[in-house]
Structure formats: structure tokens, C-alpha cells
Amino acid sequence: MTDPEEIKRGVSVCMFDQYGTVVDMQGGLREVAAEFLEAKGWQGDPNAFVTWWRRTHFENSMIDALLHREHTPYRAIGELSVAQVMARAGIAHTEEEVRRLVASIERLKPFPEVPAALDRLRARYRLVVLSNGDPDMLEAAKPHHGVAFEAVISVAEAGSFKPHRSTYTKAAALLGVRMDEVLFVANHEFDVVGAKAAGMRAAFIDRRRRPFARWPHQPDLIVPSMTALADAIV
């Protein structure tokens, strides 16, 4: 772990993943899915459905990135993945129902402690988002999460999904800062590893209390919540 005082001295930007770090993706989508699945008469666990949805989305986004062809929008990957999961689960669905489920990502709310913690961090650092989401989805989300960021950057700027190195380097270039001036903050291990490998500092928000794998690219900080992050570095 890195001394928080060193982070205070060297970091000027806190850069956040949005889906699952700023906004509660699992909880928010679980609520949407529960209502939808009940109407469909599906007897499975809505939380498991959402986990399946998100894992399939991640797998498909990584396939897209590794193809090294034209970047596929997040929304398109989402619709592909939701339809794939429902087909596997035997849930009859229409294309419009798939579109509505994916569009619900735009209406997700922040974790309860996030707004106050970010207000504290804003007093010392520039606050920005780097998200796998599409630009229009991130714009549509602003009134729903209600958090003011200096910039909201989509990986579409780099033409690949995180954790591709270019997503982090492009974001730093757009902000006009060195990589080591950025503390990347995420609830996802892959995102922390990607940011560290690219040359950023990184904080892992370990809300789920899971051990971090023994990557050579370890987080500078591991904290249980955004509040704890603010406690450490403000």
C-alpha cells in the first residue's frame, strides 16, 4: 500500500469508474429485473440474473476489444448480452424489452455515501469519470445520479473498452495531466489492474470484501467505501 500522504502530494485528479463504483449497478438493475422477471413468470433469483447479465456483458466487451476492429458501443454490447442471457434462461422476450432493460442503466442512483464523499474529495482534487458507457448514456445519467464531475469521459474516445491501456492514457491526455497525477478509483479489480498497468495510481473500493488477486499491478489503496477513501486522502 502507498502512504496516503504521498497520494496527497502527487495526485491532482481522482478519476472514477461510473458503473458499480459511483452508481449502484447491481442493486439498481436487480430492482428493474425483479419487476420484469416477475411479469414474465420466471422463478429464478433476480440478483443471479443481473450477475449473469453483467458477467456476459463483460465477456462480450472483452471479446470486442480483443478483435481489434471498430469499437462496438456499450449499448449494443448490453443488448447483445441481455438477449443472450434471456435466451439461455428460456425467457421469452422482444427486442423492445431488451432495449428497455439496457436503457435502465441510465437511471441508476449513486451508492448512499458517494455524493457526500465526492464533495469532500472535490475540495482537493479534480473529479472526473472514465466509463465504458457510451457518451449519450453517460449524458442521460447525469440528472439521475446528480453528481457534478469536471469531465465525463467515455472509452469511445479511445475506441476500446477498459482495461485496454489506451483508455487510461487517452483520458489523461484529454485532461492534460501525467499518468501518475491520476488516482483511478474503481470497485472492479480488472479496472484497477488496468489503470495501474497503464501508469496511474489506483484505489480499490472493496465493498464486497473480496481478496485482490496477486497481480503485479496492485492498488495503492484498498478501502471499504468512498467515505473511507475521502477519510484517507483529503
- How far, CA to CA in Å, does 84 sit from each of 48, 64, 88, 93? 15, 15, 6, 11
- What's the rounded Cα separation, in Å, for the pair 191 and 195? 6
Sign of CA dihedral 31, 85, 40, 78: positive
- pLDDT at position 14 is 98
Tell me which architecture the domain covering 4-24+108-233 has in CATH: 3-Layer(aba) Sandwich (3.40)
pLDDT tens sequence for the chain (234 residues): 899 999 999 999 999 999 999 999 999 999 999 999 999 999 999 999 999 999 999 999 999 999 989 999 999 999 999 999 999 999 999 999 999 999 999 999 999 999 999 999 999 999 999 999 999 999 999 999 999 999 999 999 999 999 999 999 999 999 999 999 999 999 999 999 999 999 999 999 999 998 999 999 999 999 999 999 999 999
CB atoms under 10 Å from CB of 218, counted, come to 16
- The grid cell for 202 is 489506483
- pLDDT at position 4 is 92
CB atoms under 10 Å from CB of 4, counted, come to 17
The CATH code belonging to domain 25-106 is 1.10.150.240
- pLDDT at position 45 is 96
Residue 167's nearest CA partner among 132, 204, 201 is 132
Report which residue type is found at 67.
L
- What's the rounded Cα separation, in Å, for the pair 18 and 74? 13
Domain ranges of the chain: 4-24+108-233, 25-106
Can you name the residues that pair with 125 across neighbouring β-strands?
A: none
Contact 19, 132 (CB under 8 A): yes
- pLDDT at position 76 is 98
Q: 57: exposed, middle or buried (C-beta count within 10 Å: 0-12, 13-18, 19+)? A: buried
Residue 138, H or E segment: helix 135-145
